[in-house]
Structure 1
């Protein structure tokens, strides 16, 4: 009888561990699309825009951005007609964060060189939970408007 109980307990534990492993990974799964930078009109600053998609079951935050192009990159949101710098932007679980003209965006301050149309700028996005994501941002004409 003890053997049957031991075997039943072992099978139950194994089945429980197997099912726990099938529960899915709730960690953020980040993907970036539609990146572009309008050719800067000044020698000192530029903006960049893209969409961050989180295919995971938990929210994350874009906390910083690094590049060799500028001395600093700041994260901004626009409230009404006022732009304000923020420490992070939330990327909702199973949702998107859009960076666009007139809304959330990145500001490249203290450009080391002025990128021109046709260049490609590389940045690394850093998140609170997800691994860093390297993004190639094509430089477009100053008046470029993405198709929706």
Structure 2
């Protein structure tokens, strides 16, 4: 039986890296889950999972649906987005990142005589470009 979450996952499955695919598959399988649940399921350290989660979330493929107490700390609960949710999130992120990049580029022009400020803005612009590339690469 195909579900909306499985359909969205299948659309991008071949375009993501192996570790990211493993993380996404585990989330799809055991959702809702925390990053620790995912690390336990994959039998890896949590730091190998958190970067993939950040990338998947920035790409609009997973989302936080709540928080729980786990091992004395509050943890985010992740789930795989449906195709409709992913498309909507990706459109929102695309617009947000594009506007943020444009604003930063305008600010960059205003601080031409301040090398430190230019460097900070340049890094932020590059980060926005990275997020836009993720959205393009993993578009539903």
In the superposition, the TM-score normalised over structure 2's length comes to: 0.21
* Structure whose residues are more often helix by fraction: 2
Larger of the two Rg values belongs to structure: 1
